[in-house]
Structure 1
């Protein structure tokens, strides 16, 4: 019979364990130490943690278990009194480029909520001098929206639409029938315009053939106009109709050289001087770089782009420019001959000796050679654009891998490496306060000081209080275990094993779970003695709230 309130292990023989019998007290901090090869990890991870995971899997239904791998039972006679187990090991932070310190610790989720509920949107319009407007955004009325649309060049074609479904799952038949009852003839579904009468004529519960569990956007097309003088009244009537049907929101899809671009407008948030800079409403998903609602459309939320580097494309500038383009010389015989013919055309067009070193080319000729343009009597496509085209068009993984050797990862030029859309980056917690990406660029020490001083007014402080409580708790823990130098936007795949372990421990402390058994692998490695004391306080806090903590340590001290 196992003693009460203990984890009782009998006959543990996993790996080099020799019939170990052991009682581990629950809701206590227990350290397993000893020399290398003594079986510390075999007992803690391969016995206690492995059996806890296996028992959890057995508690699932037979239907759920069929999708999971079967776990082997550790080699032992019995184990009793084992609570749910969580292992926090020393391993890298994973390979997901979207994972950061802030997302791993859930601080980013709280920041998204904070900026959505207490943030003030500002205009993100950039003028010809590169200056950002920065005016606080307030509601735009129908007259301002009409003026903004009427300012498009004469002859511009556009669709005026009222958004009725925004990123919602389902077939939405009821919405379509309601729109038909209101006299709507055309709708746009996920970017494609449909005749509403033809769609409903098909009948059935899903007349548009929409996937039930995918997100869909549906807009009612209320007018198709071409900007002309003397038609302002019609434009104003259509704008007012869209705002009524779209609950204060309107989308103008404008054609430019065969390409249609959406311009959203809103009575809720729009700049007085630039009504095209408008937002429907502030939502947490606006600040997620993993969502199309918030991610920069150029880099898709990664913050970085692979770009061809001229120094890699031309590794030796002292070579004659006709032979200096390395990726044009290291191909099969057929491609090499084709590139050689192209280069001969360029040499004839520019009139320079083909043996002239690349470094001595005039700046203008070098720019045309690399990026394309008119030279002599030809229109030159450019070395880098041709390499991009080949990379995009080829189906050979070997060719893509070779061409990627001439690329470097650089910050996205559209978002400046901040991952989000300009509209999201324009939201601030005050006139001079940083945006959400600038907060994430702070170190943990700087973030603690920033949030300690943050004031949002009486109403804003009341809204932000529970959010800031969670943020400060997580920041305080990471600072206490010696991670104050990390920035919140630090990529998880660049963390060391010890840093990643303490980050995951911060997440567990913030979750507030009780009745669990945490198994940690040398959490003090690399820490200063002062930080060791802080870490011990945190581990004892886990036991004080009802958890069992088992720590594997090589050093007895």
Structure 2
């Protein structure tokens, strides 16, 4: 049997004909700085080929219904196992998904409630659990002899037989929000006062409304109550109208049914078949818990059947750590003839729950909507499910599984990875966490730089081999657990010398009343395990309260006091993707393209053609490629094979027509003339070389900022939706650099996501620049290097959910490291000693 996966000539993205052997049946880490080619090797080669070759063994009928990866660009790959990938950004679950359904724990609870529940007969007598339910025999009341209709597990599912008929198992009902129906009461109906008629209905509805007896030529606010009621909720009656369509210059008469403003919205909601349709209706809709099931999603029988004193909704409302303890008490509460079955069901539940608890998800409730889970939480659920499948001989590719994990939860992650390996699988992990890297059997380090400066294997071997490699960049971090202090930290007695932001809250969710102080002109890091209250304190309390105070609006109700002298702006920079499609690029988002368009519009070639700056836009300009409409690619439908996105055959991916390539600009210093398409194909660092020494100071400053943020390897024409979370944050930050920041609070949510330890150093340097420019910086973070470089730490906990929600410690890194109450401090102590 082959011992290695043999890759020859891999050239996906920036890989430079990489030849590498990957051990089979081992835990293999792929490391390297951002943009060095880690994901290209792990996902673009190993996963792409492993999944593609497996799917090729299926029928064409089946393959048509499965999303597939394209063939990787390489010379050869041998002995690759079937592959599964756990991506950094799992897809966002639909409205019917919950933590319970995604983890499959709900299956065990439904089975337990169905088989072990205390049924009630038609005459109100409660029955003891009986084997007859599982045996599908009649269940007879021992008191009155009445037969009881038992429920199967499917009858307790809100996605099928157990669904509440009122909300169809979603737990929410959508109703029209009357307060949104009138756009402006000072307008007349003819001027567009009725908002839904402007976006969801034909313009003739104004004429029908007039025939209903409503004056359409006076301001809505001056209408009588009767007229307003007709506008909002009038009956669906037919009226004969004369109409005139101005745009089509056409008139006529017809019978038309009246659609009130509310009915217009409900009609559009009923016809909405996709997200685009729902988005049009959303402004006029409010969601509220279902009045019948109260958000439980279940019908009356399904939500009222108890087992060991708790109904299914009550079980699902418990935190997983509490639920796991309660489930253990169920078998002993059963009759003797039911205990074996109870133990089997509980055993299945416990096996699944154990991994989720080890991965730090014990604070979640099973009824938590899947759409509200973070990407890190969704990825950990995927990981726990992968171990539970007990698959053998596969290759699992994990894309930064340590994202969002407190150091205390990394041990649980490593346990899951070891289990996957023990089951006979190959585990490929792309990560920067040195604890994860040290736990692997083999490391492949990509580099040495990013983009065109990366794409080669600079070191490989065991952890010891890589530590001794003179070419390795990760070696110093593997060899030492100590964090590097790379910025001047403020002494403890001077942390608050520049003032403070102080916030006081009342209890919210599982978070207790808080009283927190954030020093101004300092780097403050908020720490704590998942679910400890970091998001509630910072993103749900401090940020909206500051924004409201600055705008002189009402603060959130749970914020009882806020003192923020001198804070005039709060800027939230998170890891959400930038843009919705390929039209958003690094050049457009950073503003570089605007400067380039103006530059090229001033060239003699452009003036001779009468071209203005707008002509150089690949989105709307006259120079955009007519074949791909400026996207640079076209999609081919090849039936049972996956859809293939290829470079546009006419513009070859440049997004521009041939004419754009004829208009060049000649930089100084002997550099050859370049066209705009040429520049967009360059990396940021390559473009910096082109503009070095030129008079384009504004453009140079933007490129320099991108370089300083550690994203100089990005191509200017690279689509922003494809960027990693860390790259997206740094690109957003670029627009803030270089300006006076006095009175600004910057808030970052885990900015080290996806960053190599060297990149973390760069980011810390950027934060120091913001502070030097007068800003205050507040960071939610798990990375110990970032935490060790803070001026002040606010540590929440001690646990997650009901076991957290308190500020357990505040202080400098040295003070937190010595605080016995701080879980973060235990790990920080290893770094700052």
What secondary structure, in the 3-state scheme, does the structure 2 residue paired with 1:550 have?
strand
Q: Measured at CA, do residues 49 and 390 of structure 1 come closer, stay the same or move farther in structure 2, by a change above 3 Å?
A: closer
Relative distance call for 1:327 and 1:63 in structure 2 (3 A) is: closer
Q: How does 1:372-521 map to 2 (within 5 A)?
A: 386-387=263-264, 390-391=267-268, 403-430=281-308, 432-433=309-310, 435-454=311-330, 455-457=332-334, 458-521=336-399
The answer to whether the 8 A contact 1:308-1:384 is kept is no
Report the Cα distance in structure 1 between the residues aligned to 2:116 and 2:65, rounded to whole angstroms: 42
Contact 2:171–2:296 under 8 Å retained in 1: yes
- Cα 1:413/1:78, change in 2 over 3 Å: same
1:288 alignment partner in structure 2: 157
Shift in CA distance, 138/339, structure 1 to aligned 2, threshold 3 Å = farther
Name the residue aligned to 2:14.
16
TM-fit CA distance, 1:499: 1.5
Q: Is the Cα contact below 8 Å between 2:185 and 2:220 reproduced in 1?
A: no
**1:340/1:411 CA distance change after superposition, 3 Å:** farther
Q: How does 1:18-167 map to 2 (within 5 A)?
A: 18-61=16-59, 64-65=62-63, 72-122=70-120, 136=126
**Higher RCO (C-alpha under 8 Å, 6+ residues apart):** 1
Report deviation, 1:550.
Answer: 0.7
Could you tell me how far apart the structure 2 residues matched to 1:553 and 1:396 are?
40
Q: Distance in 2 between matches of 1:324 and 1:59?
A: 59
Tell which deviates more after alignment, 81-90 or 364-373.
364-373
- What's the TM-score once normalised by structure 2's chain length? 0.42
Check conservation: 1:92, 1:496, Cα contact below 8 A: no
8 Å CA contact retained: 1:11, 1:19: yes
TM-score (norm 1): 0.61
How much does 1:35 deviate? 0.7
* Alignment of structure 1 residues 305-316 onto 2, 5 Å: 305-313=173-181
In structure 2, relative to structure 1, the CA distance for the partners of 1:475 and 1:366 (3 Å cut) is farther
- Three-state SS of the structure 2 residue aligned to 1:405 is helix
1, 4, 17: which is aligned to 1:6? Answer: 4
Residue deviations 1:137-174 (CA, integer Å, cap 9, x gap): 699xxxxxxxxxxxxxxxxxxxxxxxxxxxxxxxxxxx
Do the aligned residues in 1 keep the contact of 2:233 with 2:262 (CA within 8 Å)? yes
Instruction: Give the corresponding residue for 2:430.
Output: 552
- How big is the shift at 1:510? 1.4
Query: Deviation of residue 554 (structure 1)?
Result: 3.6
In the alignment, is the contact (CA less than 8 A) between 1:319 and 1:357 conserved in 2?
no
Equivalences for 1:197-236 in 2 at 5 Å?
A: none
User: CA distance change for structure 1 residues 412 and 372 in 2, over 3 Å: closer, same or farther?
Assistant: farther
Question: Which residue does 2:132 correspond to in 1?
Answer: none
Relative to 1, partners in 2 of residues 1:319 and 1:64: Cα closer, same or farther, differing over 3 Å? closer
Counterparts of 2:404 and 2:272, CA distance in 1: 46
Distance 1:10 1:270, change over 3 A: farther
2: CA distance between counterparts of 1:390 and 1:25?
A: 59
> What are the superposed Cα offsets for residues 472-518 of structure 1, whole Å, 9 maximum, x if unpaired?
22222222222222221222233222211111111111112222211
Displacement of 1:121 in angstroms is: 2.6
Change (3 A) 1:5 1:355: closer
Tell me the CA shift for residue 370 of structure 1: 6.8
Shift of 1:31: 0.9
Q: How big is the shift at 1:355?
A: 5.7
**Equivalences for 1:204-283 in 2 at 5 Å?**
268=140, 280-283=149-152
Against the structure 1 CA distance between its residues 486 and 102, is the aligned structure 2 distance closer, same or farther, given a 3 Å change threshold? same
Q: Secondary structure at the match of 1:121?
A: coil
CA–CA separation in structure 1 for the residues paired with 2:299 and 2:333: 24
Q: How many angstroms apart in 2 are the aligned matches of 1:267 and 1:460? A: 15
Aligned partners of 1:101 and 1:490 also within 8 Å: yes
Q: CA deviation at 1:542?
A: 1.7
User: Are the aligned partners of 1:34 and 1:555 in contact in 2 as well (CA < 8 Å)?
Assistant: no
Cα 1:64/1:372, change in 2 over 3 Å: closer
2:172 is equivalent to residue 304 of structure 1: yes
- Unmatched 5+ residue regions in structure 2? 130-135, 236-257, 436-833
For 1:374-417, what per-residue CA distance to the aligned partner results, in whole angstroms no more than 9, with x for missing partners?
A: xxxxxxx9968745665478899999865553111222222212
- Tell whether the 8 Å contact from 2:86 to 2:398 is kept in structure 1 after alignment: yes
Cα distance in 1 between the residues matched to 2:264 and 2:399: 48
CA contact (8 A) 2:187 2:193 kept: no
User: Which ranges in structure 1 are unaligned for 5 or more consecutive residues?
Assistant: 126-132, 140-246, 249-265, 346-352, 374-380
The change in CA–CA distance for 1:267 and 1:496 in structure 2 (over 3 A counts) is closer
Give 3-state SS (helix, strand or coil) of 2:96's partner: coil
CA contact (8 A) 1:54 1:72 kept: yes
User: What secondary structure does 1:120 align onto?
Assistant: coil
**Aligned residue in 2 for 1:334:** 204
SS, match of residue 88 in structure 2: coil
The structural deviation recorded for 1:68 is 6.0
Q: 1:403 to 1:295 in 2, by over 3 A?
A: same
The residue matched to 2:16 in structure 1 has which SS? coil
CA contact (8 A) 1:14 1:76 kept: yes
Describe the shift of the 1:532–1:460 C-alpha distance in structure 2 as closer, same or farther (beyond 3 A). same
Q: Distance in 2 between matches of 1:282 and 1:311?
A: 43
Q: Secondary structure at the match of 2:302?
A: helix
Label 1:324 to 1:472 Cα distance change in 2 as closer, same or farther (>3 A): farther
Q: Which residue of 2 aligns with 1:527?
A: 405
- SS at 2:428 equivalent: strand
> CA contact under 8 A between 1:371 and 1:383: conserved in structure 2?
yes
Does the Cα contact within 8 Å between 2:14 and 2:37 map onto a contact in 1? Answer: yes
Paired residues in the alignment total: 399
